[in-house]
Amino acid sequence: MTADVIITSLFVFALAGFLGFTVISKVPKLLHTPLMALTNALSAISLVGSLLILGHTETTYARVLGFIAVLASTINVVGGFLITDRMLKMFKPAEKRAPASPRGEAGP
């Protein structure tokens, strides 16, 4: 890889980061949870792609980058699903418990 390719790749990565931040910051709160679910699905696709790249590489440099991609994608997918699940639980109504008897026994 030449220096020009690396610099161009870093520029595209930084530009995509700024663009993504700008787009996500303008999303209304009501649409945040469905958008997170969609983002998790896209992250899962990138995980599959990074696994394929890792499995078909021959150089050590590509294997290290593939492993980093698999690790980052896995953390992103798992964390995203945990956060989405937590947010969806906030929208569920709370379960009501039956009142306990004065002696601590179960009701009839």
Q: Containing domain of residue 87, as a range?
A: 30-92
105 or 31: which carries more pLDDT confidence?
Answer: 31
In a domain, 86, yes or no: yes
Residue 17 maps to a domain: no
**Based on the structure, what is the number of domains in the chain?**
1
In a domain, 13, yes or no: no
Asked if residue 101 belongs to a domain, the reply is: no
37-84 pLDDT, tens per residue?
777 778 888 888 888 888 888 888 888 888 898 898 889 888 888 887
**Average pLDDT of span 79-95:** 79
Inter-residue contact 43 to 76 (CB < 8 Å): yes
For residue 19, being part of any structural domain is answered with no
CA 56/CA 70 separation, integer angstroms:
13
- Choice between 68 and 86, residue whose per-residue pLDDT is larger: 68
Q: Among 46, 66, 45, 37, which Cα is nearest to 54's?
A: 66
